[in-house]
Amino acid sequence: MTHKFSEEHAELVSSVKQAGKIALKYYKSDLKSWEKKPGDPVSEADIAIDTYLKEHLLSTHPDYGWLSEETVDDLSRLKKSRVWIIDPIDGTRSFIAGKPEFTVCAALVEDGRPVCAAVFNPVTEEFFEAMIGTGSYLNGTRLQCSDRNDLDGAKLLASRKAFEWHNWLEEAPNADFSHLNSIAYRMVVVASCDYDASLSLSAKSDWDIAAADLILSEAGGLSTTSKGNTLQYNQSNPLHETVISSGAALHPALMNMLKDFTPKN
């Protein structure tokens, strides 16, 4: 039986794969880049991919809204039930540096929650995708989050310094700490069971996480704020003060650890 979002998902997959090819043309080249504001880089590749995705995704669905890191937000999206949410390159700093820790991210959101998603690392050729109610996949292989339910020895994409500062190390003995520049990449490798959890204690935008959120949830995981609140998309303010991602079994332990944490954003 044809899924409600089969058409949009096929368009999303095709467009993101082509966007990955565009990224590779610029990767490790004499790339032009600049800062939108201090510490916030953008490159000509970001702009080229944003232009391509906007043209292709909106040409077939001109009635859908649009929210992208590299497009000025005119808030007309708030009147739309369905909105494309795009990050042309999540991890631009790594992309500019020639490190393969970036992803092309795209999601379709309906009434505030993602229903189709793709996250693509074209260098490593890892293509993550999901459609609501049908599971999530990495290069065609179905994903399933870790069933770990405690933090002892957990593989965490998080800052060890933050754990030391907040006195959380005792709650996560023998934990292994790692980092990847792209938050979307961090979330989807939790979905693929390579890591047990990703903790981002600073603000992230809709475009950073919407696609990865669906991929994780369809793999049996959860992404919430540090207070356990569900992430809602296409709001007037597209910021989320924290993003905590893990398998469903580990989520209660993370929430307990974070119960006294107050974001500084």
Task: Name the CATH topology of 155-257.
Answer: D-Maltodextrin-Binding Protein; domain 2 (3.40.190)
Map tokens 């393969």 to a residue.
100
| Cβ atoms of 207 and 85 closer than 8 Å | yes
- The kind and range of the H/E element at 174 are none
pLDDT digits over 192-222, tens only? 999 999 999 999 999 999 999 999 999 999 9
pLDDT of the residue at 5: 96
Task: Residue 216: name the closest of 240, 181, 192 by CA.
Answer: 192
pLDDT of the residue at 252: 98
Residue 186 class from Cβ within 10 Å (0-12 exposed, 13-18 middle, 19+ buried)? Answer: buried
In degrees and rounded to multiples of 5, residue 210 shows phi and psi of -60, -50
Q: How many Å apart are CA 261 and CA 21, to the nearest integer? A: 41
| Cβ atoms of 53 and 69 closer than 8 Å | no
Q: What is the average pLDDT value for the chain, to the nearest integer?
A: 96
Domain spans, the chain? 6-142, 155-257
pLDDT of the residue at 37: 87
pLDDT of the residue at 82: 98
pLDDT of the residue at 103: 98
Query: Per DSSP, which regions of the chain are E strands?
Result: 33-37, 40-43, 65-68, 82-90, 103-110, 113-121, 126-131, 136-138, 141-142, 155-157, 176-178, 197-200, 204-205, 221-224, 239-240, 243-247
Task: Name the CATH topology of 6-142.
Answer: Fructose-1,6-Bisphosphatase; Chain A, domain 1 (3.30.540)
Looking at residue 125, its amino acid is E
pLDDT of the residue at 265: 57
Stated pTM of the model: 0.96
3-state secondary structure of 132: coil
**To the nearest 10°, the Cα dihedral for 89, 90, 93, 98?**
-60
pLDDT of the residue at 117: 98
Neighbours of 181 (CB within 10 A): 18
pLDDT digits over 68-103, tens only? 999 999 899 999 999 999 999 999 999 999 999 999
pLDDT of the residue at 264: 78
Looking at residue 100, its amino acid is P
Instruction: Please report, for the chain, how many H helices and E strands are present, in that order.
Output: 7, 16
Contacts with 177 (C-beta within 8 Å, 6 or more apart), sequence order: 156, 157, 158, 159, 160, 163
The segments of the chain whose pLDDT lies below 50 read none
